[in-house]
A and B are shown apart, each in its own frame.
Chain A
Amino acid sequence: GAVVSQHPSWVICKSGTSVKIECRSLDFQATTMFWYRQFPKQSLMLMATSNEGSKATYEQGVEKDKFLINHASLTLSTLTVTSAHPEDSSFYICSARDLQGANEKLFFGSGTQLSVL
């Protein structure tokens, strides 16, 4: 079945540094990918919708200059947390939409746990 690979699984960084998270669709082309954030014991929160070849659509309250999204190819989307601060520590997860004819299916990456010191 379709697989979405997300890297890294864990990242610890110093405050002020930038962190890049990759989301790859391994055996299908994903024109649309989604980025989520999840705080402990809380639900997934959609951050942005990433469309190949165009600018990402950010949800209300999500800083586009803080969370840079690039979807340069049909199999790769990246999320860069710029100038990370401790409050950015969270679990980030991506998903990719696979359009199989009339059937749409969403596949999730395994997530990235970001800890900012």
Chain B
Amino acid sequence: GQQVMQIPQYQHVQEGEDFTTYCNSSTTLSNIQWYKQRPGGHPVFLIQLVKSGEVKKQKRLTFQFGEAKKNSSLHITATQTTDVGTYFCAGRNAGNMLTFGGGTRLMVKP
């Protein structure tokens, strides 16, 4: 079945440093979504990417969908303590199955 791998599992950064999490699918995706979960909370939808090579930005967050539509990345520029949480990617295949990655937990030292 479809597998979605997300790396790294954990990342400690100093406030102000950049952060990137990567998502790789075993199959071609029709779209990919990114979620953020704050400690003690539930995942909150951030964005959806649909087109091959698509790049979208939300303030300090940059989301990219690979040309082959099998990988994606989330990059945060100049992290802040408010960025703390776990970031999940979720890939949807042609059969409409949504598979979540394992998540990357971001910890930011002030």
Could you tell me which A residues sit within 8 Å of B by CB distance? 1, 9, 34, 36, 38, 41, 43-44, 46, 49, 91, 93, 95, 103-108, 110-111, 113
The number of chain B residues touching the other chain, given as a range, is 20 to 34
Closest 7 CB pairs of A and B: A43-B45, A108-B100, A46-B42, A111-B98, A34-B42, A44-B43, A106-B37
Q: What residues of B have a CB within 8 angstroms of the CB of A1 in the complex?
A: 102
Cα(A93)–Cα(B42), bound, Å: 13
Q: Are B98 and A93 in contact (CB under 8 A)?
A: yes
Report the minimum CB–CB distance from B61 to chain A (whole Å). 16
| B86 and A106 within 8 A (CB) | yes
Q: Report the Cα distance A1→B5, complex, angstroms.
A: 12
Q: Known contacts A9-B97, A41-B48, A110-B97; is A103 also within 8 Å of B102 by CB?
A: no
Task: Give chain B interface residues in 66-88, CB to chain A under 8 Å.
Answer: 86, 88
Which secondary structure dominates where chain B touches chain A? Answer: strand
Q: Which residues of B contact A38 (CB under 8 A)?
A: 98
User: For residue B105, which residues in chain A have a CB less than 8 angstroms away from its CB?
Assistant: 103, 105
